[in-house]
Structures are given as C-alpha cells and as structure tokens.
Amino acid sequence: MTLALRTERTEARLLPEQKKRIEQAASIKGLSVSDFIVQHADEAAIKTIQQHETWILNDRDRGFLVQILLNPPEPSEYMRAAVSRYKERTGKQ
C-alpha cells in the first residue's frame, strides 16, 4: 500500500503492555507500528466480515437444507394468508 493512497486516519488508546507487544511484533516483522496495526486490523476485518457473511453447515444440516430446497413443503395457511394480504395491498397477481 503506497502512502499516496492513504487518506484516512484513526486513533486507538492502548494499555502500556499492549503498546510494547505491538511495537515488539512490528519490529520482528520489520514493519512500522502503523503499518503493523493497519495490516493486522485489515486482516481481522476481512476475516470478521467473511465469518459474518458465510454459512458453514455440518453434514446433517447441509443434507436437511438440500432436501428442503429440492422438496419444499406446502405453504401453511398462515403463509397463504400472508401472500393474499400482500397481493391485495400491492395489487400484484
């Protein structure tokens, strides 16, 4: 990432022991503290977003989902009533 592209700034308050650890880790990796924080915060952000947006199903649940998709149940009376109300309110057929 080049400096010319960096236009945003943020701040963080650290405990003294956190700052020392981060400084040591950045030094080990040969990075500035800023670069170390940005790199690892961005990696954590990407991972968090992926975990939030991805479903991981075990074999039993995956099989259940596939069966429901291939053989969907008939709509309940409640669902039929909801569809009727929706069509009446929106004028859709």
The ranges assigned to domains in the chain are 14-53, 59-90
Contact 25, 36 (CB under 8 A): yes
* 3 DSSP assignment: G
Residue 2 has pLDDT above 60, yes or no: no
Q: Residue 5's pLDDT is what?
A: 82
Say what angle helices 16-29 and 33-53 make with each other, to 10 degrees.
100
Q: Residue 37's pLDDT is what?
A: 96
Q: Residue 1's pLDDT is what?
A: 52
Q: Residue 7's pLDDT is what?
A: 86
Phi, then psi, of 15 in degrees rounded to 5: -75, 150
Tell me the two tokens of residue 34.
């800023």
Q: Residue 3's pLDDT is what?
A: 58
